[in-house]
Amino acid sequence: MRDVPQLKAVREEQGWSQRDLAARSGVAQNTISQLERGERKAMPSTVRKLADALGIDIPLLLVDSATAGEVDGRVARHLSRERNEHKRAAAKYQAEREFFGFAEKPGDQYETGGWAEAFVSGNLVVVDDTLPKAHRDVIRVHREGAFLRYEVVPSLLSYPEDLVVARSRLASSDPKEIVEAAQLVLRRAKTIVEEYDSHLQSFYRIPERYFADPHASNRIWKLEGALSDKCVAATEAVQKLVDLYQECLDTLERQIIEMRKEGDELEEYVTRLSTGKGERES
């Protein structure tokens, strides 16, 4: 259970009423009112709902005004913009994938030969033959560019949002939240590695006949460059995720040590009481 001393300041910085925040967070308006007046403490899950609705990290709601000063409005706006940018980027990514006709999961629409062969074959787009050649070429170039952006390790495009969510959970004192943060970043790191490896193997399975075709060999060259770039990006992303995973483990270890210490102190106290009672009886 935690106090949220900055809740009112951050809410007003957003220009929201308590009713607005209640509607966006799912937390009752009466609860928000009591939290802002300091009449009750918030469960970790409530703090997370409020922080997510406000688009900020959890620590900004928990900082003590008496020691840290009022929340800087510029910081709150920056974090809010950062989260909104992630959401807009994810929405744009999905919209463009749907526009170009990609399957929900990479590779689903390429049942024969795999996605790498589908790319180098030049058959990704069925273009109306009645269009001028220049138009057909433009459509093909756009589709191939979208393929390289979205079908080569697509999980790289949305993993920053996982980092934001995991860091918010890590700020909680609830061990369950920290375990969930560790599981989240570990799953994402595993997905990135598996996707890259799968697509690299698909590249290695490109039939030899395409290497003799000038147009196909040009696409092979582009695909190889995209995979190389994604390798660098995947390595950096996985390292960030692994670092955060280790931070989660370190936090849990500190909590366990503290709980053991409290348990030892309690056991010692009980022992002293028991010993004192025995001495009095004797």
Residue 262 maps to a domain: no
Residue 165 and residue 47 in one domain: no
Residue 47 and residue 180 in one domain: no
Q: Let me know: does 166 contact 185? Beta carbons within 8 Å.
A: yes
Residue 137 and residue 204 in one domain: yes
Half-sphere exposure (CA, 13 Å, Cβ side) for 36?
18
Expressed as residue numbers, the domain containing 70 is: 7-75
Residue 277 maps to a domain: no
Residue 137 and residue 17 in one domain: no
Residue 177 pLDDT: 84
Residue 51 maps to a domain: yes
Residue 109 and residue 201 in one domain: yes
Nearest to 83 by CA among 101, 58, 106: 58
Distance CA 63, CA 3 (A): 9
Residue 112 maps to a domain: yes
Residue 105 and residue 241 in one domain: yes
Residue 174 and residue 41 in one domain: no
Residue 211 maps to a domain: yes
Q: Let me know: does 146 contact 115? Beta carbons within 8 Å.
A: no
Length of the chain: 282
Residue 20 maps to a domain: yes
Residue 207: CB atoms within 10 A of its CB come to: 11
Distance CA 145, CA 213 (A): 20
Distance CA 168, CA 170 (A): 5
Distance CA 126, CA 194 (A): 30
Residue 137 maps to a domain: yes
Binning the chain into helix, strand and coil, the percentages to the nearest 5 are 75, 0, 25
Output the DSSP codes for 94-135.
Answer: HHHHHHTT--SSTTTT-TTTHHHHHHHTT-S----TTS-HHH
Number of folded domains that form the chain? 2
pLDDT along the chain (282 residues), means of 10: 79 81 86 88 83 74 54 49 58 60 47 71 71 73 77 82 81 82 92 90 90 88 91 92 91 85 83 67 50
Residue 229 and residue 155 in one domain: yes
The alpha carbon of residue 232 and the mean position of all alpha carbons in its chain are separated, in whole angstroms, by: 19
CATH number of the domain to which 54 belongs: 1.10.260.40
Distance CA 126, CA 111 (A): 16
**Close Cβ partners of 150 (under 8 Å, ≥ 6 residues apart):** 93, 96, 97, 100, 102, 106, 157
Residue 52 and residue 124 in one domain: no
Q: What angle do CA 22, 65, 5 make, to 5 degrees?
A: 25
Residue 69 pLDDT: 44
Distance CA 179, CA 165 (A): 13
Residue 157 pLDDT: 80
Residue 242 pLDDT: 92
Residue 114 and residue 179 in one domain: yes
**Which two tokens mark 23?**
């509607």
Residue 49 maps to a domain: yes
Residue 122 and residue 196 in one domain: yes
Q: Which residues of 72-103 are buried (b: 16+ CB within 10 A; e: fewer)?
A: eeeebeebbeebeebeeeeeeeeeebeebebe
Q: Let me know: does 179 contact 138? Beta carbons within 8 Å.
A: no
pTM of full prediction above 0.85: no
Residue 108 and residue 183 in one domain: yes
**Please, what sign has the CA dihedral across residues 137, 142, 148, 154?**
negative
